[in-house]
Structures are given as C-alpha cells and as structure tokens.
Amino acid sequence: MSAIPRERRSAWSLAILLGVVVTVTLQIFSGIAMGLGWMSLLAFHIEDGMAAALFILLEWLWLTGTRPGRRALGHLFPTVGQRWRAAGRQCRDIFLNRPTPALNTIVEGAFLLIATLAVLLGLLLAFTALPARFPLLLAGHRALAGLLALLWIIHLLLALHAALGRRAAARRC
Ligand code: HEM
C-alpha cells in the first residue's frame, strides 16, 4: 500500500500500515496452511486475526479521520473511470517495459477492502453461532482469502517490476 506518498504518512500511521501488512500476510499463510490440514494453527489464526482486525480498524480511522488520510483515500478508491484509465496505463507501461508507479493503488484499495470483509467474516466465524446456521460463511471467508492471496501476489510482482525498472534507469544514468 505504499503508493500513498510517504511524506504524507506520519510515523504512527506508517506503523499502522505495517501492522496491517504483517498481520494480514500471516493470516493468508496460516489460512492456506489450515486448508492444507494444519488445523493446529487455528488458535494462532484467531489471535493474529484479532490483531489484523484492530490494525484494519485503525487504518480506516486514519483514512477517514485525518486530512492526509482522506487524500490517500481518494488515491486508493478513485472513480470507476479513473480506475480503468490507470489500470490501462499500468498494463501498457508493463508491456512496453516502461517504468510504472511503485505500487499500484488500485490493487492496494481492493486489498484493503477485501481484507476488511475477510476479517469481518472471520470474526463472525470465530465468535458467533452463525456458522452453524449459515455454512456458506466459511465458503465466503475462504473465497475472500483466495482473492486476497491473488492480490498479494500481483502486488509483489508490480513492486518487483517497478524496482527492476528503477534499477535499469539508474544504470543508464
Ligand atoms: C485477511 C484475513 C484472513 C484471511 C486471509 C483468512 C484466511 C482463512 C482461510 C483460507 C481459512 C480456511 C481454512 C480451511 O480451509 O480450513 C480460514 C478459516 C478460518 N478463519 Fe480466517 N482468515 C482471515 C481472518 C480471520 C479472522 C479475523 C478470524 C477471527 C478472528 C478468522 C477466523 C477463522 C476461523 C474460525 C476459520 C475456520 C476454521 C475452520 O473451522 O475450518 N479468520 N481463514
């Protein structure tokens, strides 16, 4: 989520962002491991999930409750037209092997939104009696986790592409 200009984020808001990234990444990996049968990770998954829920709540409070946060919100959730134009530009630059923005804000906004939904479903799964009545809750939680893992990989590839582009440009100078 670092396409938000660094100078606009204070140290504490960067710490919140780091908390979101670390705890959600651990949730993705522990969720996948549970899916592969390592159910002994469930206690860790729930504890780290509660930490992820706290960091995500703080991130939303920063995004909606501070002036730099509201500016960042506009970058994370642009209008649909802006979103498609930016995605088109990014794809074109990747295919033409031109440098692209460090990290794609569209992916970052989607990541935050889907992580929020996955965490909300996770809390319902862990702390309410709803899963017994709505078995689709776990299926929804798993589907959101799959999307999140995909966005995580796209995010990583875009970051690598941007870093390699910057290195090649620095060598040419
Ligand atoms: C972004 C955050 C999250 C991701 C990516 C994630 C991922 C997953 C995945 C992939 C599974 C399925 C594992 C399986 O197939 O058995 C799962 C299950 C589960 N998750 Fe999460 N999760 C997240 C957040 C949370 C939170 C916040 C909680 C609660 C505090 C939570 C509680 C649970 C529970 C109770 C299960 C059910 C385990 C079972 O009965 O099979 N998750 N999660």
In this predicted model, which residue has the larger pLDDT, 108 or 119?
Answer: 119
Answer whether 30's CB lies under 8 Å from 48's CB.
yes
Stretch 57-79: mean pLDDT: 90
pLDDT at 3 over 50: no
Instruction: Please tell me the distance from the alpha carbon of residue 31 to that of residue 48, in angstroms, as a whole number.
Output: 11
DSSP 23-48: HHHHHHHHHHHHHTT-GGGHHHHHHH
Answer whether 72's CB lies under 8 Å from 7's CB.
no
Residues with CB under 6 A from ligand 1: 24, 27-28, 31-32, 34-35, 42, 45-46, 49-50, 52-53, 115, 118-119, 122-123, 125-126, 138, 141-142, 145, 148
- Which residues lie below 8 Å from residue 81, measured CB to CB, with a gap of 6+? none
Q: What is the pLDDT of residue 8?
A: 65
CA of 131 to the centre of ligand 1 (A): 12
Stretch 131-138: mean pLDDT: 91
CA of 27 to the centre of ligand 1 (A): 7
Instruction: Please tell me the distance from the alpha carbon of residue 60 to that of residue 90, in angstroms, as a whole number.
Output: 26
Instruction: Please tell me the distance from the alpha carbon of residue 15 to that of residue 10, in angstroms, as a whole number.
Output: 9
Instruction: Please tell me the distance from the alpha carbon of residue 167 to that of residue 169, in angstroms, as a whole number.
Output: 5
Q: What is the SS3 assignment for 134?
A: coil
Instruction: Please tell me the distance from the alpha carbon of residue 173 to that of residue 26, in angstroms, as a whole number.
Output: 39
Answer whether 162's CB lies under 8 Å from 100's CB.
yes
Stretch 103-126: mean pLDDT: 90
